Amino acid sequence: MNSIAVIFIGYIVLLMAIPYAHAFFQHTSKVVDNSFVSGTFVSPSVSPTVSVYAPHAGDIVINEINWGGSRLSTSDEWLELRNMRDIEIDIGGWTLENLGGSASASATITVPQGKVIPAKGYFLIANAATISSKINVTPDVITTAISLLDTGEEIRLRSISGVVIDIANRTGAWFRGSKTPVYKSMERKDPPANGADVVNWQDASTHTGMDASGSIDEYGTPSNPNGI
Amino acid sequence: MKTIIGMILIVSMLIYPTALSAHSRHDYETDKVAPLFTLSNMLPGAHVQKSMKVVNKLSNPQKISVYATLKNSKGRLKNVLHLAIFMDKNNIKSISFIELLAKPIDIGSLKPGEARTVVFDVEMPASAGNKYQQSSVVFDLHVGMSGPSKHRHHFWQRWRW
């Protein structure tokens, strides 16, 4: 076969392939003119946020712990912090001891740099994004490192300088909350008092910020006031 | 040589119109809908989630695929956007916008009559630097089914010697 014949055959094959190169879909829905426009900002790497306030014990409290997961997954765990002050507080670099997946204090989770809790606001650290969880609020930090023992743990919140800001629960069983068949988070009573004392905690009895489908037997108030 | 060129022209005249008509049969758009995403002040760390329902009204199983076509781009924003695609709360894909522009991706399949919700989560990473300021990207998003088609068989039957 000479070269001209090869070119000719190749040409025919190419023409026959044309519709297949374009005919990717049988049925297409086309969403047109999606647009993203970036704003004006100063990159964190150029101008990092610096907090000049040195927080004290009680400024931030561990306000709610969902240690039992949900009907969706036993890993659907989350923890909520609450800012008791009238100023925003930068908690980048703060640590939560025993929130990670082992019984030792080394199972620490560190809050990423640049994270701030607004004045009187809440801060949610969750194992899974909203779409993969029974919560329907957006977590401030998502980390699969959250893995609480069902048998209970003492959670300690430390500032970036190592000061213990708050303690929740004690070693041993969880003060409050439950898992299957009825999932309830462990809520701090309001106003928050000593987190290491069982009398200052209660079972969640409402479901604010949770998927509606979970309202029958899943209770919690992520990123919302407790008991509402 | 003249004979070869003549044959090429004849074959072109015969095949190409058929090829184009086959294309229009296969890749038609069932509808065009308004933008899913319109964000005018996207900042580093921002996430935007939008969902759409996909229904297989055909009588055979269909693969669901997604691709994007770029309509307009100013600056470098398109280089930094990241997508996570979920189907019924399951994370199907996690890719850059550039990857989605490069080629279609499969995100699952639907049985006849089955309906599922596809969620697109677009993120501008918190680490995005100042070079991404005041830039923009406009694109069309194509969500389609790519299962077996009787039209394709029809096309080949027309060219069976």
Band of the pLDDT at B157, cuts 50, 70, 90? very low
Q: Which of A213-217, B78-82, B108-112 has the lowest mean pLDDT?
A: A213-217
CB contact under 8 A, A36 and B122: yes
pTM for the predicted model, two decimal places: 0.48
CA quadruple A151, A186, A183, A222: dihedral, nearest 10: -130
In this structure, what are the phi and psi dihedrals at residue A11, rounded to the nearest 5 degrees? -65, -45
Nearest CB to B129; choose among A28, A34, A45: A45
Residue A81's pLDDT is 97
Nearest CB to A34; choose among B31, B141, B151: B141
- Give tens-digit pLDDT for A95-134: 999 887 765 556 889 999 888 899 999 999 999 999 999 9
Distance from CA of B138 to the nearest CA of A (A): 4
Chain center to CA of A148: 14
- Give tens-digit pLDDT for A182-215: 999 999 999 999 999 999 999 999 989 988 755 6
CB contact under 8 A, A29 and B90: no
> Smallest Cα–Cα separation from A107: which of A98, A120, A115, A116?
A98
Residue A13's pLDDT is 66
> Smallest Cα–Cα separation from B104: which of A35, A13, A34, A22?
A22
Q: Which of B43-57, B59-73, B136-150 has the lowest mean pLDDT?
A: B136-150
Tokens of B21: 């008509």
Q: Which of A140-149, B28-37, B80-89 has the lowest mean pLDDT?
A: B28-37
Percentage above 90 pLDDT, chain B: 11
Q: Which residues in chain B are closer than 8 Å to A4, comparing Cβ atoms? A: 1, 4
- DSSP secondary structure string for all residues of A167-217: EES-SSS-SS-B-TTSEE-EEE-SS---TTSGGGEEE---BSSB-GGGTTT
Residue among A38, A134, A142 with most chain B CBs within 10 A, to mutate: A38
Q: Which of A158-167, A185-194, B39-48, B148-157 has the lowest mean pLDDT?
A: B148-157
Residue among B13, B142, B154 with most chain A CBs within 10 A, to mutate: B142
> Smallest Cα–Cα separation from B143: which of B104, B88, B90, B95?
B104
Cβ count near B110 (within 10 Å): 20
Which residue from B minimizes the CA distance to A40?
B133
Beta bridge partners of A220: A207
Chain B, window 130-149: residues with a beta carbon less than 8 angstroms from a chain A beta carbon: 130, 132-147, 149
CA atoms within 13 A on the CB side of B158: 14
Which residue from A minimizes the CA distance to B117?
A131
Tokens of B44: 């580093």
Mean pLDDT of B71-88: 88
Rg value, chain A, Cα: 25
- Which carries the bigger pLDDT value, residue A50 or residue A142? A142
What ipTM does the predicted assembly reach?
Answer: 0.70
Nearest CB to A25; choose among B37, B65, B136: B65
Residue among A3, A12, A31, A49 with most chain B CBs within 10 A, to mutate: A31
Whether the CB-CB separation of A100 and A147 falls below 8 Å is answered with: yes
Percentage above 90 pLDDT, chain A: 50
Q: Is A63 helix (H, G, I), strand (E, B) or coil?
A: strand
C-alpha distance from residue A145 to each of A69, A140, A151 (Å): 14, 15, 18
Distance from CA of B38 to the nearest CA of A (A): 5
* Average pLDDT value over all residues in chain A: 84
What percent of chain B is helix, strand and coil (3-state, nearest 5)?
30, 45, 25
Helices assigned H by DSSP within chain A: 3-22
CB contact under 8 A, B44 and A8: no
Q: Does B2 touch chain A (CB under 8 A)?
A: no
